[in-house]
């Protein structure tokens, strides 16, 4: 089961910081990030792509689940 980071309701830049931390800790593999707004969704996707990770976004109600993998 993938590690899940619940970044919903957190202010900029916390979702990105937590994502960056996970990418560094995991190195290679997959994890998921939950955010609750479009801006955080863009920002998290950007930092993942900039570091060579793939992202897949699923809308869940008013939240976004971002599956990140390398």
Partner 1 sequence: MPLIIIVGAIVGALSVLLVLAGNPANMGVCVACFLRDIAGGLGFHRAGVVQYLRPEIAGFVLGAFGIAVSKKEFKVTGGSSPVIRFVLGMFVMIGALVFLGCPLRMVLRLAAGDLNALVGLVGFAAGILVGIQFLKRGFSLGRSHAQEKVNGYILPIMAAVLLLFLAIRPAFIFFSQSGPGAAAAPVLVALAAGLIVGVLAQRSRLCMVGGIRDAMLIKDYYLLSGFVSIFVVALIGNLIFGQFNLGFEGQPIAHNDGLWNFLGMLLAGWGSVLLGGCPLRQLILSGEGNLDSVITVFGLLAGAAVAHNFGLASSAAGVTANGKVAVLIGFVVMAAVGALSRPVILGKSQRVEKSVTA
Binding site for partner 1 (CB under 8 A): 5-6, 8-14, 16-18, 20-21, 24-25, 36-39, 42-43, 46-47, 50, 62
Q: Which residue in the list 2, 3, 9, 12 is annotated as catalytic? A: 12
Residue 56 CB, shortest distance to partner 1, in Å, is 20
Identify whether 48 is a catalytic site residue.
Answer: no
Beta-carbon contacts of 2 under 8 Å, excluding residues fewer than 6 positions away, are 30, 31, 32, 67
Residue 24 CB, shortest distance to partner 1, in Å, is 5
Residues belonging to the active site: 12
């Amino acid at each position: 089961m993938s590690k899940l980071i619940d970044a919903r309701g957190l202010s900029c830049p916390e979702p990105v910081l937590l994502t960056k931390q996970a990418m560094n800790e995991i190195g290679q593999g997959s994890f998921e990030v939950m955010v609750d707004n479009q801006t955080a969704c863009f920002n998290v996707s950007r930092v993942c792509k900039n570091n060579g990770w793939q992202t897949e976004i699923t809308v869940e109600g008013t939240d976004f689940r971002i599956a990140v993998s390398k």
